[in-house]
Amino acid sequence: MTLPQPNRLKLRREFQAVYHKGFRRSGRYLTLRGLPNFSSPKDSTQGMPINEGKLPTQIGISISQKVSKKAVVRNRIKRQIRAIFRQLLPRLSPGWQLVVVVRPGAEACEYGHFLRELEQLLVEAEVLSGH
């Protein structure tokens, strides 16, 4: 399964904006980059902002061949990170653009370790609701 369509960060310029204008929080195996995205989409019929001026949080995952030369390993890590975000999506504050960069050495990590590290990074960045 993938992330819902509105929660995906896809375009190169969106990734570049997060890299250049956003903040960075680093862990041992993951780096979280984030940028508040509070530009409000307009409803074409009413001219009113949708979702009270906040877009849904958009998430992108970046993993290079430095992590592993094998695409199978890189894809497994991406699937695990997407599964974690599907689990955390209801707790994420709206209006953020997030990019998770996987660091070398992460191929030895298990799902539980990714979950703990990503939760910790999201709490440090104050992106998780209630934290």
Query: From the centroid of its chain, how far is CA 87?
Result: 12
Given 3-state DSSP classes, what are the helix, strand and coil percentages for the chain, each rounded to the nearest 5? 40, 20, 35
Count CA atoms within 13 Å of residue 51 on its CB side: 13
Would you kindly state where each structural domain of the chain is located, as residue ranges?
7-124
Query: From the centroid of its chain, how far is CA 30?
Result: 11
Residue 39's alpha-carbon distances to 17, 32, 70, 88, 119, in angstroms, are: 14, 21, 38, 23, 26
Q: Whole-model pTM?
A: 0.85
At residue 83, the pLDDT reads 96
Q: What percent of the chain has pLDDT over 70?
A: 85
59-108: per-residue pLDDT in tens? 999 999 999 999 999 999 999 999 999 999 999 999 999 999 999 999 99
Contact status, residue 6 vs residue 59, Cβ threshold 8 Å: no
Whether residue 48 is predicted with pLDDT greater than 70 in this model: the reply is no
Residues 6+ apart with CB under 8 A from 3: 59, 82, 85, 86, 89
Least confident of 19-23, 54-58, 60-64: 54-58
Residue with tokens 């990714």: 114
**What is the rounded average pLDDT for all residues in the chain?**
88
Class of domain 7-124: alpha beta
H or E element in which residue 112 lies: helix 111-124
